[in-house]
Amino acid sequence: MPAMPCPIHRNPITAVESPAVGVTIEGLSKNFGSLQALKNVSFAVEPGEIFVLMGPSGSGKSVLLKHIVGLETASNGRVLIDGHDAAAEGTLEHVRIALVFQAGALFNSLSVYDNLALYPREHRLGTESEIREKVVRALQILSLETTANKFPSELSGGMKKRVAIARALVMEPQLMLYDEPTSELDPVMSATISEIIATLKDEYHVTTIVVSHDRELALGIADRIGILMGGELVFLGPPSELKESKDSRIADFFHPKIDLKNPRFKTLET
Amino acid sequence: MKQLTNILEGFGSAVQLLVQSCRYAGTLPRQRARFIEQCYLIGYTTLPIVAILCFFMGSVLALQAGYSMENFGAKQFIGSLVGLSFARELGPVIVAILLAGRVGSAITAELASMKVYQEVDALVTMNIPPARMLVLPRLAAVLVMMPVLAIIGNLIGWFGGAVVSKYVQSIAIEPEAYFAALRRYMKFKDVGTGLMKAEIFGFVVVLICCSIGLSTRGGPREIGASVTRAVVASLISILVLDYFVTKALM
């Protein structure tokens, strides 16, 4: 694939412009005891691109995401973000990375407002009134103005996901990572989240990596898709190539065959 | 062998957490609100239970002492016995045990659930070290509140002993005589030793509970297991340390 021109990343909150960052994964392997979760995975995510990583459960997608954000250390290989090793101490001071966790990982003891204000407060990114402006702007982008004083326990699943995205936006990230952003959501909310991810990319050129099972989401927003199976990268390319792929493993992943003559189904019938 | 490895691993991670927290000591003034909140939780909310327990411990001590010392005609020394026992040993140990059961378990449960529900991971990805935000304010708060709790515990324990000494007919010692005996044989150093012990026990309890909470892995069931482990480890540490600290301060 020809290298994409480096787009200018525009901060969604402050509108400050800076070069978008890229991610390079070089020969990444991870072992948990005898289990090999990742096997020599290599690919690059271009600056400003939306890259969707798919694969069946247990294929190593979330483990890979944790390596990118430095929550796991590789058995072999490395992850470079804008040239900085993700596992090295201090990388998060050079590159602002925001991870939207599958369950939101909101701080339950803090209100929505305080969840969003935590990062700028802890890093002293402005006065309280400046932080307030950033938080209000992020809440507006995600249409969450009415939830500012609520606690995470008072929110629906979809709202929690949007608050998690808003919290990520307040970090003014150069790289956004999403772990199963549409899981456990109804189709309408899934479409809304997909739209939000695409808008952030189109308007602000935030480099985005999405880990998802959701085929609609992947085909709808991805610039490129990677498919992991058993810890190996079995496909890497744009959605159009994926649709034409003749690889039986990929066909099985998208259209799993259910054998209705399987004795287990017989047991259910009786 | 595996248990020994686990103990050493736990000790190592607690020391590591302590070193990490000390690195951020300079950020404490910025965390004033969190520090005050922890002082409230560790000090104020523990006070009623400390008061009740210390009153009855003092009462029982006076009752037992009265029963035993009557045989030697030494009832007039009950005040000294209760006073010294509380100041040097019972006060700090009881307060530390209550801290482990009430505050330590709550700390472990909170941090373990934050770990299990990925809130701690979220902090790490936000470049906010958990040692700075979650551990340091608690360690600082326990250092401030433990001597306060120990002094109040001592005073209430002594008072409990005085009440029993006056109103139990077989003892019947007036408070003036009780407190005179208490003052006569007790030095300021005795109270100081007790406060030093309380400080050490409290610090170790909070460090153990934070460390076990933050090293929780797995699902919600592990939260309960971590709380049990933290309370047991705290109680054992208090009693083991008690011997060595007492020996060192003699």
User: Is the per-residue pLDDT at A264 higher than 80?
Assistant: no
pLDDT of residue A120: 94
User: Is the per-residue pLDDT at A10 higher than 70?
Assistant: no
CB spacing of B122 vs A107 below 8 angstroms: yes
pLDDT of residue B56: 96
Q: How far is A147 from chain B (nearest CA, A)?
A: 20
User: Is the per-residue pLDDT at A262 higher than 80?
Assistant: no
User: Is the per-residue pLDDT at A111 higher than 90?
Assistant: yes
Q: What whole-number distance in Å separates Cα of residue B119 and Cα of residue B125?
A: 10
pLDDT tens column, A153-171: 999 888 998 999 999 989 8
Q: How far is B126 from chain A (nearest CA, A)?
A: 7
Chain A residue with minimal CA distance to B119?
A105
| Cβ contacts of B35-38, under 8 Å, gap ≥ 24 | B35/B137, B35/B140, B35/B141, B37/B137, B38/B137, B38/B138, B38/B140, B38/B141, B38/B142
Nearest to A67 by CA among A30, A119, A21: A30
pLDDT of residue A245: 78
Q: Is residue B69 exposed (0-12), middle (13-18) or buried (19+ Cβ within 10 Å)?
A: middle
Q: What whole-number distance in Å separates Cα of residue A249 and Cα of residue A247?
A: 5
Q: What whole-number distance in Å separates Cα of residue A27 and Cα of residue A38?
A: 9
ipTM: 0.84
Q: What whole-number distance in Å separates Cα of residue A153 and Cα of residue A108?
A: 7
pLDDT of residue A238: 92
CB spacing of A107 vs B117 below 8 angstroms: no
Tokens of A196: 């939000």
pLDDT of residue A186: 82
Q: What whole-number distance in Å separates Cα of residue B96 and Cα of residue B101?
A: 9
Q: Are B62 and B79 in contact (CB under 8 A)?
A: no
pLDDT of residue B52: 96
User: Is the per-residue pLDDT at A145 higher than 80?
Assistant: yes
Nearest to A113 by CA among A81, A143, A138, A83: A138
Tokens of A86: 């993700």
Q: How far is B101 from chain A (nearest CA, A)?
A: 22
Res. A95 pLDDT band, cuts 50 70 90: confident
Residues in chain B with pLDDT values less than 70: none
- Domains annotated on chain A, with CATH: 18-96+177-270 (3.40.50.300)
Which residue of B119, B124, B133 is in closest CB contact with A71? B124
User: Is the per-residue pLDDT at A267 higher than 70?
Assistant: no
Per-domain boundaries in chain B: 41-249
User: Is the per-residue pLDDT at A12 higher than 80?
Assistant: no
* Mean pLDDT, residues A89-114 taken together: 90
Backbone phi, then psi, for A4, in 5-degree steps?
Answer: -80, 150
pLDDT of residue A5: 55
In A, residues 193-222, which contact B (CB 8 Å cutoff)? none
Chain B residue with minimal CA distance to A177?
B125
CB spacing of B127 vs A92 below 8 angstroms: yes
Q: Count of CB contacts below 8 A, A vs B?
A: 41
* Mean pLDDT, residues A111-124 taken together: 94
Chain A residue with minimal CA distance to B115?
A105
> Chain-wide mean pLDDT for chain A?
86
pLDDT tens column, A242-260: 877 777 787 777 776 666 6
For residues A205 and A123, which has the higher predicted lDDT (pLDDT)?
A123
User: Is the per-residue pLDDT at A33 higher than 80?
Assistant: yes
Tokens of A14: 């402050």
CB spacing of B127 vs A69 below 8 angstroms: no
Looking at chain A, the whole-number percentage of residues with pLDDT higher than 70 is 87
CB spacing of B128 vs A122 below 8 angstroms: yes
Q: Are B165 and B66 in contact (CB under 8 A)?
A: yes
User: Is the per-residue pLDDT at A90 higher than 90?
Assistant: no
